[in-house]
Amino acid sequence: MVIDNNITTSGKMDAIEMIKIKRGDKIIERRKIDWEKNQAHFKMRGFSLAEEDKPKKQKVSKPKLVKV
């Protein structure tokens, strides 16, 4: 794994911006700079940016009527 010189020399890890990418049901977290540099490779393998703002829809089931 290659680490940027900026990270190793400064010793600060909080300056790294992370993003989430997905392929199917799989969601992984990567550094934004890695995504920007290797975007073609990620897309070739089927990854895309994950939308975090959209909440998942929950199924609403109707109450079952029971005849007596």
pLDDT digits (tens, 9 = 90+) for 22-63: 999 899 999 999 999 999 999 999 999 987 656 667 788 888
Identify any residues that bridge with 10 across adjacent strands, giving them in sequence order. none
**Helix and strand element counts for the chain (H, E):** 3, 3
pLDDT of the residue at 58: 79
**Which residue, among 8, 1, 4, has the nearest Cα to 33 in the 3D structure?**
4
40 compared with 16, residue with greater pLDDT: 40
pLDDT of the residue at 14: 58
Q: Per the confidence metrics, is the pTM higher than 0.85?
A: no
pLDDT of 12 above 60: no
The residues near 35 (Cβ < 8 Å, ≥ 6 apart) are: 19, 21, 42, 49
21 in Cβ contact with 28 (< 8 Å): yes
